[in-house]
Structure 1
Amino acid sequence: MELSTLAVFIPACFALNMAPGPNNLLSISNASRYGFAVACSGGLGRLLAFTIMIALAAVGLTAVLHTSEWLFHGIKIVGAAYLFYLAVQLWRAQADSDVDENSAQVGLGRLARQEFLVAIGNPKAILLFTAFLPQFVDHSGAALSQFAQLGAMFLALECIAIGLYCYIGIHARRLFARSSGKRLFNRVCAALLASAASFLLVARRA
């Protein structure tokens, strides 16, 4: 892959990684409640979902989403419903004064599952890979190999984005040290997740 292609791909890709979408908001919330390491580990669920999406885009199966109206709407309704569920849970969450590390460790699988379901339930994210990654593929070469390289770079940059958003969550926890502040922060994050769910409901296929 040429350096000129990478010089365009990497900044554009990282801008997409850093966009404040539902998963990144979830990382902030989880880091503020459970700590940096646990929230970052929970991001593995998101990476798994994105890996599946990239593989689907590489073999052309996402063309089904472009042509199937009912499938697109079905995925986005389920995804939006799950975001609303998370928003309600976060709104009602207890504002504990300290992070329970043991509880956080036990809930690691739950956080990864949350990240996975939020990512996989967004059909616009799936279509993003079919619209974005192919622009950087040289069709005179091995397309699948290039797709794999671009996908791997996307996932690597996504790891950096997860870390940065979790770091923001840690600082948010320090800023809202009191129970009242944590409750306010939880409810702001809940409102943002509910807004993301609302935007997802009105999303249309490109």
Structure 2
Amino acid sequence: MELSVWLAFFAASWAISISPGAGAVAAMSAGLNHGFARGYFMSFGLIAGLMTQVVVVALGLGALIAASSLAFALIKWLGVAYLVWLGVRQWRAPATPLVTRSDAGGPVSRRALMLRGWMVNAVNPKGTVFLLAVVPQFLDLAQPLASQYLTIGATLAFTDLVIMGAYTALASRLLRLLRTPGQMRALNRAFGSLFVAVALLLATFKRAT
């Protein structure tokens, strides 16, 4: 991949990462509920899910998913159901201010956070279709594709590490402001509603014809 092409993709990847979506909501939810140090592990899972999408597209399976109505619908509704489940969990999360919680209460493990993040991105067919639409514009078909996909994956991973980390840090700073159960309950329900809203948006996403 030529430097000028990579710079163009690098700029595009920032816009892709910054744009609000299920990943951003998941990162902020993790920061809100677990603080930055633990919540940032959600970002690693989100990136793993994104890399799964890149591999799927690189292997050509993305085109099959985009072209097959049944495969697309199955993956889409699995993603919708998972986001709704996350929203319900967040809505019903304890209203105890996080600044007073102790680790003795059994915090969510880092591995579990990574798995949740992976699921958010890996079962999102909108991401597959988006990558199929964007990535080919930056590929030189006369050159080996494997190295180009590695460059694309590494670039997306880097920008997501930064942006999702910023979302996590922003939400974690809210911990200092959460002093009452009522405030915590309101924020839990706000994030729960955001998950459901993203799920509804995904439900309206249609396969390009």
Q: TM-score, normalised by structure 1?
A: 0.93
The aligned residue for residue 40 of structure 2 is 40
CA contact (8 A) 2:26 2:42 kept: no
1:141 paired with 2:114, answer no
C-alpha separation in 2, matches of 1:177 and 1:151:
41
Identity over aligned residues, as a percent?
29
The aligned residue for residue 174 of structure 1 is 176
1:162-206 Cα distance to aligned partner (Å, 9 max, x none): 211101111222233322111111111111110101111111113
Q: Which amino acid aligns with 2:140?
A: D
Query: Considering only aligned residues, what root-mean-square deviation do their CA atoms show, in Å?
Result: 1.6
CA contact (8 A) 2:34 2:172 kept: no
The aligned residue for residue 127 of structure 1 is 129
How many equivalent residue pairs? 206
The aligned residue for residue 204 of structure 1 is 206
CA contact (8 A) 1:38 1:105 kept: no
How far 1:104 sits from its partner (Å)?
Answer: 6.5
The aligned residue for residue 55 of structure 2 is 55
Q: Which amino acid aligns with 2:166?
A: L
Q: How does 1:89-108 map to 2 (within 5 A)?
A: 89-97=89-97, 98-101=100-103, 106-108=108-110
How far 1:95 sits from its partner (Å)?
Answer: 1.7
1:18-40 Cα distance to aligned partner (Å, 9 max, x none): 11111211111111111101111
Q: Which amino acid aligns with 2:156?
A: F
The aligned residue for residue 193 of structure 2 is 191
Q: Which piece of structure 1 moves more, 13-22 or 139-148?
A: 139-148
C-alpha separation in 2, matches of 1:104 and 1:5:
47
Q: TM-score, normalised by structure 2?
A: 0.91
C-alpha separation in 2, matches of 1:89 and 1:121:
19
Q: Which piece of structure 1 moves more, 2-11 or 194-203?
A: 2-11
Q: Which amino acid aligns with 1:197?
A: A
C-alpha separation in 2, matches of 1:103 and 1:151:
37
How far 1:148 sits from its partner (Å)?
Answer: 1.2
